[in-house]
Amino acid sequence: MYYFDYASTYPTDIEILEQCILKRDDGIFNNPSSTHEEGIKAADLLSKARQKIANILQCSTDEIIFTSGGSESDNTALKGVMLKYKPEEAELITSTIEHPAILETCKQLERFGYTIRYVKPNNKGYIGIENIKKQINDKTKLISIMAINNELGTMQDIYEIAHLAHTKGILFHTDAVQALGKIDLNLDTIDMASFSGHKVGALKGTGFLYVKTYVELEPLICGGGQESNLRAGTENIFGNYMLALCLEKYYNNWTNFNITYMNSLQDKIVQKLKTAFGDNIIINSNALGIVNIAFKNINSETLQLMLSCKGDMVSVASACHSNFSEPSYVLKEIGVPNEFLNGSLRISISPDTKEFEVDNLIKNIILYANHLIKIGKE
């Protein structure tokens, strides 16, 4: 099996998983709120996990709030800010190509009566700072723009946007799930950022929200006061400790990796497929870790199934909403022609990807896409 869906999820790190299981005598399966010896051990592991993450991101432990993943972190950030105000007092700015965790949260806030202002990208998927400026008014309380798009891999200038927000007294949040390790994240100017565990080899259902201590949030989950009163419920010691270890390993893998080699693999995919298909293919993006392509008048779900049968695992869209049969809203927003919308594939690689795996994928895409083109002409 050759894996090309790292933007969806990173394979669980079995070595670190086993390492965590061996911590069973160190309180990893206990309740950190308990005051007996085993509870104290659990609280110590949770503290170590938080400290390790804070060290990697060069921030304070008080700024790390453990959650169940990127989606909960996004919800906590957006609703946490907006629900502090009456609907007529607060507005939020975001883009039309955000992750569903942002867009669906915004739809819910709209149902609550809040005004959401949406900024469109250009045809490369970039959000222009001038377009954001046009949407700002005296009611704007929060701007949320993702760091790296999960379908295209395009990177936004989150620091410029954060600077703009702060000059207007507005908070800035970014969904940084796809960014960790791939870019040099400087959180000094970021008010809130969302992260997911399973994107770095940790367990599903883990993640955290980075939030400056001066940011006041309305909690989504009320109860025992865990996570600085922002996320009630008994903490997931095992999952959070594994997250910290995986984050450290993942971060080192990316930062110590020869990015030139990785870019060469992506360029090879683009060049070989453009040569093979000419006007029957368009390249929607070729960014860090992600190549998004689209075939003319081909059903990509059929192509994906054929590739899967040969052991090549690619995605037809963001796996967070790939159960829907409609074409990608992200590709629609960047103006991909209708005849290509149903033929998109997202190929996402990592430092673990080998060149022979890429060669095999290219060979199979050419074989099966040509077969589907031939059938379409008959």
To the question of pTM greater than 0.75 for the whole model, the response is: yes
**CATH code at 291?**
3.90.1150.10
Is residue 256 very low, low, confident or very high in pLDDT (cuts 50, 70, 90)?
A: low
Residue-level pLDDT at 321: 54
Whether 107 and 157 map to the same domain: the answer is yes
Q: Which amino acid, one-letter code, is at 156?
A: Q
Whether 248 and 367 map to the same domain: the answer is no
Helix (H, G, I), strand (E, B) or coil at 295: strand
Is residue 376 very low, low, confident or very high in pLDDT (cuts 50, 70, 90)?
A: low
Residue-level pLDDT at 351: 87
Residue 350 above 60 pLDDT? yes
User: Could you read off the pLDDT of 2-15 as tens digits, one per residue?
Assistant: 999 999 999 999 99
Whether 105 and 201 map to the same domain: the answer is yes
Whether 159 and 304 map to the same domain: the answer is no
Please, where are the H alpha helices in the chain? Answer: 14-21, 37-57, 70-82, 100-111, 129-135, 158-167, 226-229, 237-255, 259-277, 300-309, 329-333, 338-341, 355-377
Whether 250 and 223 map to the same domain: the answer is yes
Whether 149 and 43 map to the same domain: the answer is yes
Residues of the domain holding 119: 14-254
How many structural domains compose the chain? 2
Whether 229 and 101 map to the same domain: the answer is yes
Whether 126 and 274 map to the same domain: the answer is no
Is residue 374 very low, low, confident or very high in pLDDT (cuts 50, 70, 90)?
A: confident
User: Could you read off the pLDDT of 195-217 as tens digits, one per residue?
Assistant: 999 999 999 999 999 999 999 99
Alpha-carbon separation of residue 124 from 161, 186, 292, 323, 343 (angstroms):
18, 24, 11, 25, 18
Is residue 344 very low, low, confident or very high in pLDDT (cuts 50, 70, 90)?
A: very high
Catalytic residue status for 320: yes
Out of 59, 106, 309, 320, which one is annotated catalytic?
320
Is residue 330 very low, low, confident or very high in pLDDT (cuts 50, 70, 90)?
A: very high
Whether 235 and 345 map to the same domain: the answer is no
Whether 67 is in a domain gets the answer: yes
